[in-house]
Amino acid sequence: MREKRFGGAVAVSLALCAGAAQGITIQFDYSYDAEGFFSADKRAVLNQVASLYGSNLTDSLSAFTSAGGNHASFSFFDPANDADTINLTNQSLAADTLRIFVGSSALGSGVLAVGGPGGTASSGSAAFNTAVTTRGQAGASLATPTDFGPWGGAVSFSSSFSWYADADVTTLESFSGTDFYSVAMHEVGHVLGIGTAPSWSASVVGSTFVGSNVEAVAGGAVGLNSVHDHWASGTASSINGVSQLAAMSPSIGAGERKYFTELDWAALRDVGWQVTSLDAFPVAAVPEPANYVMLLAGLGLFGVMVRRRYV
């Protein structure tokens, strides 16, 4: 079985806990799907990803509206060409909402996907600037960050691979190709800060991750890959008592499914997210939300964008 490895800069993650109150809302924006990559079956998978994350992450993210003297800007790599940067000005976002721009492109040899959180800048009142840059997460502005409050980011999937888009990811049948769900989970995980957020870096010591939640699950520090943005190859955990390679480990084989494990969810807790359950598992698919139209105008100074590649 040939393995594809997670490298560079992107991620997708989702989680859902049956019966939990809805927490955050993830909007997948298809504006840059120039090649029509996102067929109905792939969109249905992303809807399941959004539903899972949405029910298992219960943070309160601040809303912000660009109007009058308040202006917010987003920057992110072009999902249709990750070598280019897109700048959007005069942006607004509802409370408890994240926006992830998705697309596809001919990524490097062996690269499955690339993605991560976007950059941001704002001008206006102090309250507005705080809402934009930290989404109301006080720990995100500390000298040693303990939280993360992104507006979202971008993910690009390779147009060169044969993808398996499962209509119901709660069941697992034999399949060929690369599992779209597993890669989307992994890449959204990067957008949410695994391997990318300052609060992640704050828990990296040498080549290990020492976040208290991860150590509680693993019984100690967990090894990382050479660039410290994934678990070390072969790192295993469990989901509902079943052993599995961790979703945020750096490789996946053809015909392989990876659900988010206790270790992966614990990492999100250490990044700063309020995670309801470490055993969150996907449930039924949900209807596809409407596409979201971006507003363009204004001017801004953008923060740092971070990307991680899945190869």
Q: What is the pLDDT of residues 202-242, one digit of tens each?
A: 999 999 999 999 999 999 999 999 999 999 999 999 999 99
Considering the domain boundaries, does residue 224 fall inside one? no
For strand 97-105 and strand 25-29, is the pairing parallel, antiparallel, or unpaired? parallel
- Distance between CA atoms of residues 261 and 208, nearest Å: 18
Considering the domain boundaries, does residue 155 fall inside one? yes
Considering the domain boundaries, does residue 7 fall inside one? yes
**What is the chain's mean pLDDT, rounded?**
87
Given this model, what pLDDT does residue 108 score?
84
Considering the domain boundaries, does residue 250 fall inside one? no
Strand partners, 86: 76
Considering the domain boundaries, does residue 67 fall inside one? yes
Task: Give the domain extent around 159.
Answer: 3-193+273-310
- Residue 284 banded pLDDT, cuts 50, 70, 90: low
Phi-psi label, residue 29: left if phi above 0, alpha if psi -120 to 50, beta otherwise: beta
Which has the closest alpha carbon to 165: 249, 80, 285, 26? 285
Q: What is the pLDDT of residues 92-109, one digit of tens each?
A: 999 999 999 999 999 988
Considering the domain boundaries, does residue 42 fall inside one? yes
**Cβ 1 vs Cβ 37: under 8 Å:** no
Mean pLDDT of 13-31: 64
- pLDDT beyond 60 at 291: no
Phi-psi label, residue 175: left if phi above 0, alpha if psi -120 to 50, beta otherwise: beta
Given this model, what pLDDT does residue 115 score?
87
**Cβ 48 vs Cβ 286: under 8 Å:** yes
Given this model, what pLDDT does residue 52 score?
97
Number of domains in the chain: 1
Considering the domain boundaries, does residue 148 fall inside one? yes
For the chain, give the percent of residues with pLDDT over 70: 84
Considering the domain boundaries, does residue 207 fall inside one? no
pTM of the model: 0.87
